[in-house]
Amino acid sequence: MLEIDNISVVFGGLTAVRELSFNVYPRKIVGLIGPNGAGKSTAFNAILGVFPPTSGEVRLEGRRIDRLSTHEISRLGIGRTFQNIRLFKGMSVLDNVRVALNRQFRYSFIEGLLRLPRCVKMEREIESRAMEILSYFGLAEVAQKQAGALPYGLQKYLEIARAYALHPKYLLLDEPAAGLNDSETEALTGKIRQLMNETGCGVLLIEHDMGLVMEICEYITVIEYGAKISEGSPEHVRHDPKVIEAYLGKQEEQA
């Protein structure tokens, strides 16, 4: 279980996340929703230590991880994607996934430098594992292309593939469906469900649009201005007057 316990993140004078608590469970998809600027991405960054929480605790399987550095946290089994895709654009699609396999296939610097047999063997395994992952996400044909040259939809898949390559216990997806059309969103939803069932990992999904989340999440936390305003089943959240107000109020502002 990934427990987010009462965390706050303060940027200067701005409290972007305020005393937020929720849990992520293995083999479950939970959602974190809220209007734009509510602090959802900041909560992700707090979990991964990109912006460590100013107060509160994050626990992974009972162990505190909120004082660890980002790379240590992700090594413990948390994979993530970013709201504005962050691929290694100048590298090939295959290399993007290969980089993510750096913890599972390890050899020393010297072995790599001299290209010793162990390195050669490992590299062969890395390549076949990476190709396996790419095939799983339907990216095998574009493996040699430059990642930045892929169409937007495929870039989103590649980012998920790269996070999946970490073999994470928990997968954190930041607005995976943003910018996708309905049929693409549906395909993506299916894929997320499938990989959760097959690997048993827990998924935490951020969306600012309610549609996708309502459909696939078992449990939803709603935040506004960094603080939790509602939580529960999609059914419960959908009818919560506070949530309706947060979303409708915002829509009126936009109109």
Partner 1 sequence: MIDGYWELLILLSLVNVIFAVSLNLVLGFNGQFSLGHAGFLAIGAYASGVATASYDLPLWAGMLLALLVSGVASVIIGYPCLRLRGDYLAIATLGFAEIIRIVLTTLPRDIFGGPTGMDNINNIKDYLSFPESFNGPGNLIFTVIFAMLLLGLLGFSAWTLSRLLAALLSRLLPWKHWRWLVLGLLAALLVWRFEKASNFFLGKFMFSQAFSPKAIASNQWAAFAACGLIVLLCLWLTRNYLASMHGRMAIAIREDEVAANNLGIDIAWMKLQNFIFASMLAGLAGALTAHTLPLIRPLGFGFFKSVEVLLMVVLGGMGSLTGSVFGAITITVLPELLRFLEQWRMVIYSLSLVLLMLFRPGGLMGTQEIGNLIRLRLFKAQERPGA
Ligand X SMILES: Nc1ncnc2c1ncn2[C@@H]1O[C@H](COP(=O)(O)OP(=O)(O)O)[C@@H](O)[C@H]1O
Interface residue list for partner 1 (CB under 8 A): 48, 50, 69-71, 74-75, 80, 82, 86-95, 98-103, 105-107, 109, 111-115, 119, 122-123, 126, 144-147, 149, 162, 166
Give φ, ψ of 78 to 5 degrees. -120, 115
Q: How far is the CB of 46 from Mg ion (least distance, A)?
A: 13
Structure-token match 């997968």, residue found = 171
Asked if 11 interacts with ligand X (CB under 6 A), we say yes
Tokens of 92: 């090939």
Which of 16/203 has CB closer to ligand X? 16
Stretch that binds ligand X, among 9-17, 23-31, 158-166, 240-248 (CB under 6 A): 9-17
Distance CA 119, CA 62 (A): 36
Residue 209 in contact with ligand X, rule: CB under 6 A? no
Q: Does 225 bind ligand X (CB under 6 A)?
A: no
Q: How far apart are CA 194 and CA 197, in angstroms?
A: 5
Per-position b or e across 208-234, b if 16+ CB within 10 A of its CB: bebebbbebbebbbbbbbbebbbbeeb
Write the secondary structure of 29-47 as one string of H (helix), E (strand) and C (coil): EEEEECCCCCCHHHHHHHH
User: CB of 24: closest distance to partner 1 in angstroms?
Assistant: 17
Binds 75: which of partner 1, ligand X, Mg ion, none (CB < 5-8 Å by kind): partner 1
Applying CB under 6 A, the residues found at the interface with ligand X are: 11, 14, 16, 34, 36-42
Applying CB under 5 A, the residues found at the interface with Mg ion are: 41, 83
